[in-house]
Amino acid sequence: MAVALTMVGKVSAGQDAPASPVLSVLSTTASAELPAKAAELVAAADAKQLKQTTIEVVKAAVGLNPAAAPAIVGSIAQSTPAMAATAAATAVVLVPNQLVAIARAAAAAAPAKAGSIVEAICRVMPVNYQKTADAVAEVVPGAAKEILTGIVAAIPELKDSINQTLASYNGQIPSVSAVMTQVAQNESSASATAMASGTPSMPRGPSSGPPQITISGTTHVLNPGTGGTVPSGYRGYASP
């Protein structure tokens, strides 16, 4: 009987677990103040918990107001540049339709982190590497080297194509947009050739290693037009 009561007590305790402190704080914040409050929570986090806090804050804030995702990421990136990439990648997983706006906001707020922002986003959305690179390059045009390095770090399969494209410029530094356009053409041509030969190329995927956001369970993509309702289970994402 004693053992049974103990087990029931534990189950009840689990069912009555309090909501996330971060979500509790943000849920009482006015929509207009949400980006600033999110940045404040990240900036005040303990160094050892900084990355995890950033992830939790972004999930909670974007869940409450999906349309504000770029502003939330930009505010966090500005106050804590070291977390710009983590914030951007976390938000992109939640609202992939805002990838370009999020990438621009993060890069504008933390231009020195342009390369890491591109790498982080490409790890969670490798198929959109061209959009990501172009978006960040528009905001930080002088970070071409860092942006291309970020792409190669996230998707090593593109290294040869990128190097081949750069070599064709005879030492001149091309724009990221020009490189990405040529790389995309090379990849499309290679894929067509492989299909014609009956040996389709393997799909591109992110390289292993941080920052990476692995999603467990059912993916919940937030729609900016839903009014900011947080779907149940959205906290099921694993840490990058």
Instruction: Please count the helices (runs of H) and the strands (runs of E) in the chain.
Output: 12, 0
pLDDT per position as a tens digit, 12-42: 444 444 557 888 899 999 999 999 999 999 9
Domain boundaries, the chain: 20-193
pLDDT per position as a tens digit, 34-91: 999 999 999 999 999 999 999 999 999 999 999 999 999 999 999 999 999 999 999 9
**What is the length of the chain?**
240
Three-state SS letters, 66-124? HHHHHHHHHHHHHHCHHHHHHHHHHHHHHCHHHHHHHHHHHHHHCHHHHHHHHHHHHHH
> How would residue 103 be classed by pLDDT, with cut points 50, 70 and 90?
very high
